[in-house]
């Protein structure tokens, strides 16, 4: 399946495939101990680096020359590394020499894969969080049952196409109804209101 056809493509990225699939592979006996060890090492490194980026600061003296060179607005006070990294035109290479990152690298060395993972997690944190919320909402809808003989035709605030499709398919849950082509999110909202949700 192409990620472009997936409902939640921000969560189903190629860079985090090992994070999503290694635990599943391990549970069914497909992951070697060497692979598991590498996965655990990468995960720990990524978690620690991400935490460091959110906790540590960079000084104006360290980053302003780079910001000026890139045509970005400069900073006047110490700023979180994560805030600088989340700027669209900046990447990890622009902050890697920050004094506050040196202790981390002295302790852990350089792991390019884990650094890339941390950068993506910080850069797209807002989008990733929003998508996780969508998944949770979807999972809640999946558990809301629709009565078997529900009369969609009487709900005039659902679009005519939505009423027609719902009547034809007769979905068993709100989650199933939300996946029917021609049934809009506003149709689902109306349906939830009529079901007393």
Is the domain of 81 the same as that of 170? no
Confidence of residue 5 (pLDDT cuts 50, 70, 90): low
Is the domain of 113 the same as that of 52? yes
Query: Which H or E element spans position 80?
Result: strand 79-80
Q: What is the pLDDT of residues 109-120, one digit of tens each?
A: 999 999 999 999
pLDDT at 76 over 90: yes
Number of domains observed in the structure of the chain: 2
Is the domain of 94 the same as that of 129? yes
Predicted pLDDT at 2: 55
> What is the rounded average pLDDT of the residues 98-127?
96
User: By residue range, what is the domain housing residue 76?
Assistant: 3-135
Torsions phi, psi for 57 (to 5 deg): -110, 165
Pairing of strands 57-58, 79-80: antiparallel
Predicted pLDDT at 7: 65
pLDDT at 6 over 90: no
Is the domain of 131 the same as that of 164? no
Q: pLDDT above 70 covers what percent of the chain?
A: 95
CATH number at residue 66: 1.10.10.1800
Is the domain of 124 the same as that of 167? no
């Amino acid at each position: 399946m192409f990620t472009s056809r997936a409902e939640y493509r921000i969560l189903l990225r190629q860079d985090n495939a090992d994070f999503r699939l290694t635990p599943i592979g391990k549970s069914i006996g497909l992951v070697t101990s060497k692979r598991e060890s590498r996965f655990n090492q990468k995960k720990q490194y990524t978690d620690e680096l991400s935490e460091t980026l959110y906790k540590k600061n960079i000084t104006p003296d360290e980053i302003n020359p780079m910001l000026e060179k890139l045509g970005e607005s400069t900073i006047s006070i110490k700023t979180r590394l994560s805030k600088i990294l989340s700027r669209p035109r900046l990447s990890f290479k622009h902050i890697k020499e920050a004094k506050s990152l040196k202790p981390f690298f002295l302790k852990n060395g350089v792991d390019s894969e884990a650094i890339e993972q941390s950068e993506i997690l910080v850069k797209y944190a807002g989008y990733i969080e929003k998508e996780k919320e969508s998944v949770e909402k979807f999972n809640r809808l999946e558990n809301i049952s629709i009565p078997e003989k529900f009369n969609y035709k009487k709900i005039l605030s659902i679009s005519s196409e939505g009423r027609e499709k719902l009547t034809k398919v007769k979905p068993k849950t709100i989650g199933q109804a939300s996946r029917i082509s021609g049934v809009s999110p506003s149709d689902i909202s109306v349906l939830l209101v009529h079901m007393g949700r």
